[in-house]
Amino acid sequence: MALGFFNTYSRALEEFSPRDPPNVSIYTCGPTVYSNAHIGNFRAYIFEDLLQRHLETRGFKVHRVMNITDVDDKTIRGAREAKISLTDFTEPFKRRFFEDLETLRIKPANEYPGATEPRYLARMIEMIAELIKSDLAYQAEDKSVYFRINKFPNYGKLAHLNLEELRPTGRVRSDEYEKENIGDFALWKAWDEADGEVAWDSPWGRGRPGWHIECSAMATTLLGDQLDIHCGGVDNIFPHHEAEIAQSEGVTGKKFVRYWMHCAHLLVDNQKMSKSLGNFYTLRDVIAKGYSGREVRYALLRVHYRAPLNFTFEGMEESRQALARINKWLERLRETSGSASPEEQRAPVPNNDFQQALDDDLNISGALGVLFESIRETNRAMDANELGPAAAKAWLQWWDGINQVLALDAAETLALPPEIEALAEARRLARLAKNWQKSDELRKDLNARGWEVRDTKDGQKITRRVGPEP
RNA sequence: GGCGGGGUAGCCAAGUGGUAAGGUCGCGGUCUGCAAAACCGCUAUUCGCGGGUUCGAUUCCCGCCCCCGCCUCCA
């Protein structure tokens, strides 16, 4: 079928067509910068990266916005505990978040609006005023402003929840009895002592914005009243995205989002990550165990976004080996493409199957299946000496195309360090003299130093052993 | 209790109304002085369980079981 995605709103696979082709607007919920982001967060961001990259290979021009939540209960508490200003507290986490995105080869969004930026605060206040005017919001006795969900008939449609059957979970703050309805959510939170210095003026008194209004304001400011795609983790469906719809449509009167896409959770050892279970990992934790950003990217990318992904270090090893296979294949293709063999006898056979698999709701497993089948096929042809330079070049071009989406190209081969070069030369001489014992010792030595030795008909080849890139 | 997602080989994971992609691991082989890499072969008579529809179901329908998540500020 043509390009299609599973829309959370309709619970169905829908053919994709943006409002204003070839332009596509995407809004993705970004991090709250109160700590380093964990690998579960990055699973979502990698899914969004895959989405963007695939849309781009299909000729769309993507405009993507990712917000940064730099004010909420957790950031305020963190700043207070550290006895520094809110900005001083969030800034390092923000910086590290961007570093992590780069480590994972995630394409930068076009904009990263922050909730505390004046232009968005102004827009939030404007929207809240609008909602009050149309009776969709009210100021309660505690001075906070709440959205009146009973006045918005579509509230609950995205999550398919029956509001009468909501079960209180104890996470409802006890002081929220001021609300007309338990489901009403805060648009503007009146200042209280725990907020310390953190407050902005508004027509309803000093306070700070609620979490949900932040996204509605930034999304409509930067992308207009109607978005093509809005993504996030499944846990954002309710209440966050439900609230976004209510607020945005309450103000604009237009359908807010055409395609809602949500990715399933990451599990670690089959359980939700939690610090008490000791299975909580930030990206930095995994990198510190010796894995590269590329390896983590592959591990988080290889499972379909709507299926739960179980993260294990066994899975990291698998990823490492699979990538090593790709590396060696590419290396071999490059050598073949550069060789001076006679002209091609056979037309190259690259195909679009990879992209077609992704057209089907980003079926990455199917797409990777195409890649690995092609790898085996071409390796077989190279073994049989049936694949010449022109075909090798064609396959490398094919790889460039799919790598626009995967972003899994290997680092350039490095020059050997002098001591490795010396060992390699010693081994070459030993082999020339058929001194196998010495040759094997030197190979062992090279292995121990992190280098792999392969003897081919063109002499020995020394490469980095699989593992983190230097 | 309500609403979702998932249950396919040791592990990870596609898929179709007609008889199971791919990755990884393991074993055997080709190649090699030996290896490594690559390639070849083997590894699910079977797709959570029980019914039903059908010439035929893992795929459609019904019932059930298990895992995970959401149910008011977690991606």
Write out pLDDT tens, residues A198-241.
Answer: 999 999 999 999 999 999 999 999 999 999 999 999 989 988 99
Give the pLDDT of residue A447.
86
Domain count, chain A: 3
For residues A398 and A431, membership in a common domain is answered with: no
Which A residues between 285 and 324 have a beta carbon under 7 A from any strand B atom?
Answer: 302-304, 306-310, 312, 314-315, 317-318, 321-322, 324
User: Which stretch of DSSP H or E encloses residue A65?
Assistant: strand A61-66
In a domain, A48, yes or no: yes
For residues A188 and A242, membership in a common domain is answered with: yes
Nearest nucleotide from residue A272 CA, by C1' atom = B68
Give the pLDDT of residue A153.
87
More confident residue, A56 or A279: A56
The range of the structural domain enclosing residue A363 comes to 339-406
For residues A217 and A343, membership in a common domain is answered with: no
User: Is A92 exposed, middle or buried (CB count within 10 Å of its CB: 0-12, 13-18, 19+)?
Assistant: exposed
In a domain, A325, yes or no: no
Would you report the helix, strand and coil content of chain A in percent, each value rounded to 5?
50, 15, 35
For residues A31 and A79, membership in a common domain is answered with: yes
Give the pLDDT of residue A170.
44
For residues A368 and A450, membership in a common domain is answered with: no
In a domain, A330, yes or no: no
Report the percent of chain A where pLDDT is more than 90. Answer: 70
In a domain, A412, yes or no: no
Nearest nucleotide from residue A30 CA, by C1' atom = B75
For residues A353 and A224, membership in a common domain is answered with: no
Look up the protein residue whose alpha carbon has the minimum distance to the C1' of B4: A159
Q: Quick one: tokens of A448? A: 């121990």
For residues A345 and A395, membership in a common domain is answered with: yes
For residues A80 and A115, membership in a common domain is answered with: yes
For residues A376 and A427, membership in a common domain is answered with: no
Give the pLDDT of residue A114.
95
Tell me the pLDDT tens digit for each residue of A373-423: 999 999 999 999 888 888 999 999 999 999 999 999 886 666 788 889 999
Give the pLDDT of residue A296.
95
Close Cβ partners of A198 (under 8 Å, ≥ 6 residues apart): A71, A76, A79, A86, A208
DSSP string over A186-205: EEEEEP-GGGTT--B--TT-
Work out the pLDDT band at A271, boundaries 50, 70, 90: confident
Give the pLDDT of residue A160.
82
